[in-house]
Amino acid sequence: MDTRRTFVFGAGAAALSQVAKPKLYGANNRIRMAVLGVHGRGNAHVNGFSPLPDVEVAVLCDPDAEVLAQKAALYQEKYGHKFETEQDLRKVLERKDIDAVSIATPNHWHALATIWACQARKDVYVEKPGCHNIFEGRQMVAAAHKYNRIVQHGVQLRSSEAVQEAIGHLRSGLIGKVYMARGLVFRWRPSIGHKPPEAAPATLNWDIWQGPAQTRQFSRNIVHYNWHWHWDYGNGDVGNQGIHETDLCMWGLGVDKLPSRITALGGKFLFDDDKQTPETLSSSYLFPEENKMIEFEVRPWATNKEDGVGVGNIFYGSDGYLVVKGYDYYESYVNQGKEKGPSRKAGGNHWANFIKAVRSRKTSDQNGPVETAALSSSLAHLGNISYRLNRQLQFDPKAGRFTGDDQANAMSTRSYRAPFVVPEKV
């Protein structure tokens, strides 16, 4: 496993080994948590944290009152205690009896919710992608550092013992000089059809749901899952499932900053529907100083797999290649790929890793610290910007800006809707 703990994002390097100020927890050293967003991925958060020793998921938060009532009843029956509910996450963050929040909102809320939580002196577990755009990634890192918060990115394969072992093999030269990583996201993503705008349901606080995004009409092809395919709220599959793989590409290659050249092509080739993001997307990222590159492919219809991989990564070296399948398995091929090398299947507990760091106050204990959220998410955003502008881009990773490209730089952030504004100064 790579033990380097320094990443470059934007203007410079940020050490991950800073120690946050000690915190006294409640009775019996119990950590009380709130889960923000419980319709989809938030269910895994409740079920991931609830069984951990001296951890209590006390509050469920979601702008949909109907969803809240259903989940509160479900989890009260499952875990034997009452869960408080709240539609407005700002009210949750005001509470002094909540130590940490777990964020499973749509993508466009991730960074602002994280920043607000840091300002409220809460620790944060945030789903991937950590940010909806490049600017937000920088602000998340700044907030975590300024307020000495533990911020964990939800890329659980970083806690997999098998994947950690695979990274160790890449570092030790098992497949020779590692020069390229390929990320694959071949998922069954059918048509979502067409659904007209309509009035939002009375149970849904549509204003809070939209948050930082500009106001638009409600549609059942946005809420509750298909927001992934709308630019205002999601980032397509490269910014959905793909963040696990963008993160592993960078980790495996040992690159700790964003690329300098980006090219992406794709489109919608199968379905006439309401999706705005591309069904198919092929992106290339070049790191000239390291003499390495990343190739990334998203396909909506899993017509075939590459070396058995539908979702995962392939690393290419001068003497072989290594394949990571899913979240907890790898296999390798050495001697120019002719012989089977080491392989292993073993998982890990990313939830427990977060709690360990919350208790120790050491970011060096984290497997998925905030810098990884900014980098892996921003890699996906770079590809999306290249696709949307339909041209190759030049990026300065030290400055955190595109070189001489006002149009691309404008797409590195968004126009925020007050009061849901990601601040310039956190």
Supply the pLDDT for residue 13: 33
What is the average per-residue pLDDT within 133-138?
98
Number of Cβ atoms within 10 Å of the Cβ of 214: 10
Burial class, 25, CB count within 10 angstroms (exposed 0-12 / middle 13-18 / buried 19+): middle
* pTM confidence score: 0.94
Q: What is the mean pLDDT of the chain?
A: 93
Supply the pLDDT for residue 400: 95
CA 117 to chain centre: 17
Residue 322 pLDDT > 50, yes or no? yes
Supply the pLDDT for residue 296: 98
Residue 57 is encoded by which pair of tokens? 């998921």
Number of Cβ atoms within 10 Å of the Cβ of 50: 18
pLDDT tens for residues 155-211? 999 999 999 999 999 999 999 999 999 999 999 999 999 999 999 999 999 999 999
CA 350 to chain centre: 13
Q: Which of 87-101, 301-315, 330-344 has the lowest mean pLDDT?
A: 301-315
DSSP E strands: which ranges in 252-381? Answer: 261-267, 280-287, 292-299, 311-317, 320-325, 329-334, 339-345
What is the average per-residue pLDDT within 306-335?
95
pLDDT interval class at 11 (50, 70, 90): very low
Please indicate whether residue 408 or residue 338 has the higher confidence score (pLDDT): 408
Query: Residue 336: CB partners within 8 Å, gap ≥ 6?
Result: 319, 320
Query: Residue 62: CB partners within 8 Å, gap ≥ 6?
Result: 36, 37, 38, 39, 42, 68, 71, 85, 87
* Cα distance between residue 43 and residue 29, in whole Å: 25
* Cα distance between residue 95 and residue 110, in whole Å: 19
SS3 content of the chain, % helix, strand, coil (to 5): 30, 25, 40
Supply the pLDDT for residue 28: 61
Burial 291-328 (b: 16+ CB within 10 A, else e): ebbbbbbbbbeeeeeeeebbbbbbbbbebbbbbbbbbb
Supply the pLDDT for residue 23: 55
Burial 378-413 (b: 16+ CB within 10 A, else e): bbbbbbbbbbbeeeebebebeebebeebeebbebbb
Supply the pLDDT for residue 305: 85
Q: What angle do CA 278, 281, 282 make, to 5 degrees?
A: 165
- CA-closest candidate to residue 370, choices 109, 163, 148, 171: 148
pLDDT interval class at 45 (50, 70, 90): very high
Supply the pLDDT for residue 308: 86
- CA-closest candidate to residue 169, choices 158, 160, 178: 178
pLDDT tens for residues 104-114? 999 999 999 99
What is the β-pairing status of strands 393-396 and 261-267? Answer: antiparallel
List the domains of the chain with CATH numbers: 7-157+350-372 (3.40.50.720), 158-192+225-347+380-402 (3.30.360.10)
Supply the pLDDT for residue 302: 76
Type of residue found at 340: K
pLDDT tens for residues 348-406? 999 999 999 999 999 999 999 999 999 999 999 999 999 999 999 999 999 999 999 99
What is the average per-residue pLDDT within 45-65?
98
pLDDT tens for residues 235-260? 999 999 999 999 999 999 999 999 99
- Integer-rounded Cα radius of gyration of the chain: 21
Contact by Cβ (8 Å): 111, 117: no
- CA-closest candidate to residue 5, choices 288, 363, 376: 363
DSSP one-letter string for 238-254: GGTTHHHHHHHHHHHHT
Contact by Cβ (8 Å): 97, 32: yes
What is the average per-residue pLDDT within 64-85?
97
Residue 145 pLDDT > 60, yes or no? yes
Supply the pLDDT for residue 2: 40
DSSP one-letter string for 53-85: TTEEEEEEE-SBHHHHHHHHHHHHHHHSSPPEE
What is the average per-residue pLDDT within 305-318?
93
Instruction: Identify the helix (H) or strand (E) that includes residue 170.
Output: helix 161-172
